[in-house]
Amino acid sequence: MKIENYDITLIKEDELYSVIFEDHTWQPYKAIEPKIIMANGDQFLFKDHLKEETIRDLGVNKGILSRYVFSDKLIVETFVYISFEGIFFKLLPIVDEASIKEIIWPSYFKSEDPKGYSSLPIMQGVYLPNTYDFSFDHLDFDGQFLSHDAYLSMYHQYEKGQGYCLINLTPFDCKYKVIHHGDKAFTAIGLRWLESLAKIGYERTARFTFEKDMDYVRAAKIYRHFVKETGHFKSLREKEIALPSIKKLIGASLVHFGIKTHTDETSTFYSEATKDDILHTFKERLDELKVLKKIHKDRLYVHLDGWGDPGYDNCHPDYLPICKAAGGSEGLRELSHYLYENGDLFALHDQYRDYYLKAPSYNIDNALKEADGSVYEHHRWAGGRQNYLCANLALDYVKRNFNELFKADIKLTASYLDVFTCNEMDECYDSRHPMTRFQCAQLRKAYFHYLISKGIIPSSEECTDWAVDTLVLCHYGPYEFMLKEKGAKRMGLAIPLFDLVYHDVLILPWITDEADEDYLLYALMNGGMPYIIRDGAYPDVDGAFGSTFSLEERSKRAKIVNDLHRKVAYSELLDHRLLSADGKVMESTFEGGIKVSVDLAKGSYKITSLSSKD
């Protein structure tokens, strides 16, 4: 079947879709056919269950309406139509009584142009040339949207002078798959719709916009415009209305260190080297900050781990009382008041997803339940054995704990709620507190709204799409290789896909140490906030690889980043260019005309403005 509208031709043949735009054809990847995978493992191809198909003309939009009968308990309709914005692919359950696992639909588009590339939303952004040597057989979250596999609900492909931008309008129950063979100059990408509490549940929608000369910058700007249309875009200036203290973040340097580390004997991290507790008193950390402030004149944002009696990543969500051996409430109060009185910002690490079996109030009935009634358990982190706390139940813990901190007169200007914006959304099948992934996101967002109501800047681990309207700050929004060991194979070239959309919406801190390259240059290219001390609780994990610079050197490097951040924090990142084939030479352009050029091979940078005074 074939339809034409708005200079786009859509061809459907044997459930595979081709698109012709300006004499170029985007071809389907035939090796993966559209199908439904049931909860019991059975698989049904769409092409074997097509019952009706017609052309539907709605006046503005024209498309193909198809009905598929998989059983008397599962009937699905798809409507694929051409709009002035591109092609919309809609999948709607008509009868939705069967248990499914996932739906692979529509067919994947492929690119075989040796000069073509894909733009992937993996963390800050990956530019994947079709000829690049890397296997995408494994992604940390299996390509799940709204995790760090996809900060943005989009991806992009470019070949032979044309590009398309995929926008996932219903991303909460969805993954994407990358098929890549660099030796064959081949990349195919497609969607995998997941069940929602075992059902399709609601209409799933994806939009493909096609344009001549659409590069990754143009694709990001299409997505930025889409986010603004939905009302989800909320700039830092808008957020300042509720949180005036955001102004203090501009030009501040981030200090990250901890108080108490305890490794449970059931933890993966437990060893002869980690079996003994590590303790730094609040007084020790206060004295260190006083020394730092004599060296470093910029404002500080202090992020404190391990302040509770159990130690870092232990006994959540029952993290109180404040660590007695470190000085208790009095010690933390003195530290917080010192920072407050000096105009610095102060945040405590906290956690309301990891649900430790050693928490005093632990009750397995509060944990997430799988579809089969089981409760997932692991023991990776310092606190040892844990489940996941259902987000339906977490807000009461949040309010209880913060109320105790308020009563202790701890001066908090910010708070860090761990993992919420790194990990995927959770589902819960417990009949007493069921929860879809979409509901999980809304509940997590409610915790951030609670903090905002108290005048506290909310932050979390990474910078995924769903939370950008409420979050102000994240732990980081790095390029994927920054969390790997030095010398590890990269997924592709670095592009600031996320910041091209959201630079003026979120403040992202950047590591400014040296690894394979000088990471200071990335901090400048992205116009971010600098870490001056980053002493994570897990050495050599999540980019916490230490620093070779003295405190004085780190101060000087942070000042360079801060001087730029003061000028561009509220500005859109308008443009970015890869100026060398290996991605080592790049240029960013910010609203207002400031340009940052970096040469990673030479370790050099240049900052210029329209007035040429910078």
160 lies in the same domain as 16: yes
Are 154 and 167 in contact, with CB atoms under 8 Å apart? yes
Q: Tell me whether residue 580 is in a domain.
A: no
**DSSP state at residue 389:** B
- Each residue's pLDDT tens digit, 267-317: 999 999 999 999 999 999 999 999 999 999 999 999 999 999 999 999 999
Are 70 and 44 in contact, with CB atoms under 8 Å apart? yes
Are 492 and 128 in contact, with CB atoms under 8 Å apart? yes
Q: How many CB atoms lie within 10 A of CB 59?
A: 5
190 lies in the same domain as 304: no
Q: Where are the alpha helices (DSSP H) in 308-362?
A: 328-341
Mean pLDDT in each 10-residue stretch from start to end of the chain (614 residues)? 93 97 95 97 98 92 96 98 96 97 98 97 98 94 96 98 97 98 96 98 98 98 98 97 97 97 97 95 98 96 97 97 98 98 97 97 98 96 98 97 97 95 95 98 97 97 95 96 91 98 98 92 98 87 76 96 98 98 97 97 93 53
Q: Where are the alpha helices (DSSP H) in 276-393?
A: 282-295, 328-341
Residue at which a domain ends, from 570, 588, 607: 570
| 290 SS3 class | helix
Q: Which residues pair with 4 in a beta bridge?
A: 9
CATH of the domain at 138: 2.70.98.30
* CA–CA distance, 333 with 204 (Å, rounded to integer): 50
199 lies in the same domain as 298: no
Q: Tell me whether residue 583 is in a domain.
A: no
* CA–CA distance, 401 with 392 (Å, rounded to integer): 17
- Each residue's pLDDT tens digit, 556-580: 999 999 999 999 999 999 999 999 9
Q: Tell me whether residue 360 is in a domain.
A: no
Write out the DSSP string of 129-141. Answer: ETT-----S--TT
Phi, psi of 462 (to 5 degrees): -125, -165
Burial 365-384 (b: 16+ CB within 10 A, else e): ebbbbeeeeeeeeebebbbb
Phi, psi of 284 (to 5 degrees): -60, -45
583 is written with which tokens? 């991605």
**DSSP state at residue 308:** B
192 lies in the same domain as 245: no
Q: Tell me whether residue 376 is in a domain.
A: no
CATH of the domain at 323: 3.20.20.80
Write out the DSSP string of 6-47. Answer: TTEEEEEETTEEEEEETTEEEPB-TTS--EEEETTS-EEEGG
397 lies in the same domain as 310: yes
Q: Which helix (H) or strand (E) holds 606?
A: strand 604-608
Task: Verify cis geometry, omega within 30 degrees of 0, for the bond prior to 317.
Answer: yes
Give the structural domain span for 171.
2-230
169 lies in the same domain as 308: no
Residue at which a domain ends, from 202, 230, 258: 230
- How many separate domains does the chain show? 2
pTM of the prediction?
0.96
216 lies in the same domain as 335: no
181 lies in the same domain as 280: no
Write out the DSSP string of 141-203. Answer: TTTBTTSTT-SSSEEEEEETTEEEEEEESS-TTEEEEEEEEGGGTEEEEEEEEEPBTTB--S-
225 lies in the same domain as 95: yes
Q: Tell me whether residue 216 is in a domain.
A: yes
Are 121 and 155 in contact, with CB atoms under 8 Å apart? yes
| 602 SS3 class | coil
| 499 SS3 class | helix
Phi, psi of 302 (to 5 degrees): -105, 125
| 102 SS3 class | strand
13 lies in the same domain as 57: yes
Are 340 and 300 in contact, with CB atoms under 8 Å apart? no
79 lies in the same domain as 101: yes
181 lies in the same domain as 263: no
pLDDT at residue number 284: 98
* CA–CA distance, 1 with 86 (Å, rounded to integer): 18
- How many angstroms separate the first and last alpha carbons of the chain? 58
Residue at which a domain ends, from 570, 590, 605: 570
Burial 480-503 (b: 16+ CB within 10 A, else e): bbbbbeeeeebbbbbbbbbbbbbb
Q: Tell me whether residue 384 is in a domain.
A: no
Q: Tell me whether residue 91 is in a domain.
A: yes
Q: Tell me whether residue 523 is in a domain.
A: yes
